[in-house]
Amino acid sequence: MALTLTQAHIERVQAHAEQAYPHEGCGLLVGLFDAVADQKTLVDVVLLDNAWTADVADNLAESGQGNSATMTKARRYCIDPKDLFETQRQAREKGLTIIGVYHSHPDAEAVPSECDRNLAWSSYSYIIASVRNGVAVDLQNWQLDSSHQFQPEPLKIAPASAAKDRMPLVVLK
């Protein structure tokens, strides 16, 4: 597929990724799947707090998935299930759905990690923003192929006017 979005969406993601630095920032991509045109259209980026905690790391370490001491917010992100539920609920009210996830890689390439791959869902878009020394320097988009490997997914920049009549989504805490 391809992901259509605006330059404003990219700037919003990069600004959030810079704010989150040196931690990973994350958020959900809300929009539409268009199977006929074989593309996804991003309507809004819902920016979230990184819900990664020592408890999440300990639970994963106990189940043999890595060392909790090295798994911190600088290297991992976690989306609170409550945020996911609330975002999906608000999206449905507008006839939209969650089409992907954004997160940032502080001082690392905008390339998915093995952990990112294990947790990824097919058909979602995975936008990764690389932030070096607090400045967003790269942004790439990925999607799983049929063998559960990440492949680059093309980004199509649409004119801002296409999305401007939509109200932004807000996650209430």
Total site size for Zn ion, rule CB under 5 A? 2
Give the DSSP letter of residue 150: E
Q: To 5 degrees, how large is the angle CA 25–CA 87–CA 160?
A: 75
Q: Residue type for 16, please? A: H
Q: Which residues contact 172 (CB under 8 A, 6 or more apart)?
A: 86
| Selected range binding Zn ion among 4-12, 52-60, 83-91, 115-123, rule: CB under 5 A | 115-123
In the bound complex, which residue of the shown chain has the CB atom lying closest to Zn ion? 116
**Residue 102 in contact with Zn ion, rule: CB under 5 A:** no
Q: Give the shortest CB-111-to-Zn ion separation in angstroms.
A: 8
Q: Give the shortest CB-76-to-Zn ion separation in angstroms.
A: 8
Q: Give the shortest CB-63-to-Zn ion separation in angstroms.
A: 19
Q: Which is nearer to Zn ion, 83 or 116 (CB)?
A: 116
Tokens 């006929």, located at residue: 36
What share of residues in the chain are helix, strand, coil (percent, to 5)? 25, 35, 40
**Residue 113 in contact with Zn ion, rule: CB under 5 A:** yes
83, 86, 116, 153: which one contacts Zn ion (CB under 5 A)? 116
Q: Which is nearer to Zn ion, 6 or 125 (CB)?
A: 125
d(CA 107, CA 110): 9
| CA distances, 55 to each of 68, 125, 136 (Å) | 9, 27, 29
* Cβ contact 76:57 at 8 Å: yes
Q: Give the shortest CB-126-to-Zn ion separation in angstroms.
A: 8
**Residue 139 in contact with Zn ion, rule: CB under 5 A:** no
Q: Which residues bind Zn ion (CB under 5 A)?
A: 113, 116
